Amino acid sequence: MSTPAAIELDSVTVGYDRRTVCRNVSLQIAEGSFTVFIGPNGCGKSTLLRTIARVLRPQAGRVTVLGRDVRGYGRRQYARTVGLLPQGIEAPAGMTVTDLVVRGRHPHRSALSRWTPQDEQAVTEALTVTGTAEFGDRVLAELSGGQRQRAWLAMLLAQDTPVLLLDEPTTYLDIAHQYEVLDLLADLHARGRTVVAVLHDLNQAARFATDLVVLHDGSVTDTGHPSTVLTPNLVADVFGLRCRIVPDPVTGTPAVFPEPTRPHPSLGPR
């Protein structure tokens, strides 16, 4: 029996103002998957993610989440179903980590409702899982980039949604913090979340994703497990990069090595 779709796009066309970015995209994202969108800059990765999040409205087509047209959800109800971590997000000046994470509970509470044990448990668990409890009282602006990103992930986790959308969550982080964030996303996926992320690094995408969605010029070029999707021909066609692909010595997942465009000093004379 096939895994049911958590997210389905049916003939979706979407863009900004009068500029169409993605045209006639049909796609299914399996429930419980860790799906990564890859593709060159400007191909529509973030546009599709924002469409699923209801930040953008399709010009044509339909988006369904957990079997329901997204237009049928109320605003608060959708925020309890889908959590989004966009690019370049900033918190108000002076906000602490705990204050930020508490904001993740807003979709579950009305303006007049009291703070409940369930709210407290969700915040405590989010701080614990993300390793941010130790600096919960610190102001976000005082933290390193990796610590801030973990704080935003804690807020997303406190929101307690079955679907998580993340737009380039490792951007501007050093290599150690990139893998720290990706390991955390892998843990959240293992706990049952459907995770959809936009990543630029093909080796990171191949290592962590259960499924890849390859986008090029606003269309889906290929989908599937990294071991079947990532081929030298695909990387050349989509990214314009000649490469070799070998098993990662640590994980066995595909690892992409670009072919040199000129003689490399380490190779010596030929």
- Please list the alpha-helical segments (H only) found in the chain: 45-52, 75-79, 97-103, 117-129, 145-158, 175-190, 202-208, 226-229, 232-239
pLDDT of res. 1: 53
Pairing of the two strands 163-167 and 82-85: parallel
pLDDT of res. 91: 80
Residue 90 has pLDDT above 90, yes or no: no
Residue 188 has pLDDT above 80, yes or no: yes
Q: What is the token pair recorded at 14?
A: 């979407």
Domains in the chain, CATH or no CATH each: 1-81+163-224 (3.40.50.300), 93-160 (no CATH)
pLDDT of res. 266: 64
Q: Which one-letter amino acid corresponds to residue 201?
A: D
Q: What is the mean pLDDT of residues 68-81?
A: 95
Residue with tokens 């958590």: 6
Residue 101 CB burial class (10 angstroms; 0-12, 13-18, ≥19): buried
Q: Which one-letter amino acid corresponds to residue 200?
A: H
Residue 215 CB burial class (10 angstroms; 0-12, 13-18, ≥19): buried
pLDDT of res. 127: 94
The structure's pTM equals 0.91
User: What stretch of H or E contains 166?
Assistant: strand 163-167
Q: What is the token pair recorded at 223?
A: 């989908």
Confidence band for 267, pLDDT divided at 50, 70 and 90: low
How far, rounded to the nearest angstrom, does the alpha carbon of residue 12 sit from its chain's CA centroid?
Answer: 20
Residue 218 CB burial class (10 angstroms; 0-12, 13-18, ≥19): buried
Q: With CA atoms as reference, report the closest residue to 53 among 65, 42, 61, 41.
A: 65
Mean of the per-residue pLDDT values of the chain: 92
Residue 124 has pLDDT above 70, yes or no: yes
Q: What is the mean pLDDT of residues 124-153?
A: 91
**HSE (side-chain half, CA atoms, 13 Å) at 119:** 16
* Length of the chain counted residue by residue: 270
Q: Are 31 and 77 in contact, with CB atoms under 8 Å apart?
A: no
Q: What is the mean pLDDT of residues 102-121?
A: 86
- Residue 163 to residue 180: CA distance in whole angstroms: 20
- Residue 208 to residue 34: CA distance in whole angstroms: 7
Residue 7 has pLDDT above 80, yes or no: yes
| For the ranges 88-92, 127-131, 236-240, the one whose mean pLDDT is highest | 236-240
pLDDT of res. 206: 97
Residue 133 has pLDDT above 90, yes or no: yes
Burial 175-198 (b: 16+ CB within 10 A, else e): eebbbbbbebbbebbeeebbbbbb
pLDDT of res. 264: 65
Q: Which one-letter amino acid corresponds to residue 206?
A: A
pLDDT tens digits for 220-253?
A: 999 999 999 999 999 999 999 999 999 999 999 9
Residue 82 CB contacts under 8 Å (≥ 6 apart), including other chains:
52, 53, 54, 65, 161, 163, 164, 165
Q: Which residues pair with 10 in a beta bridge?
A: 62
Q: What is the mean pLDDT of residues 103-128?
A: 88
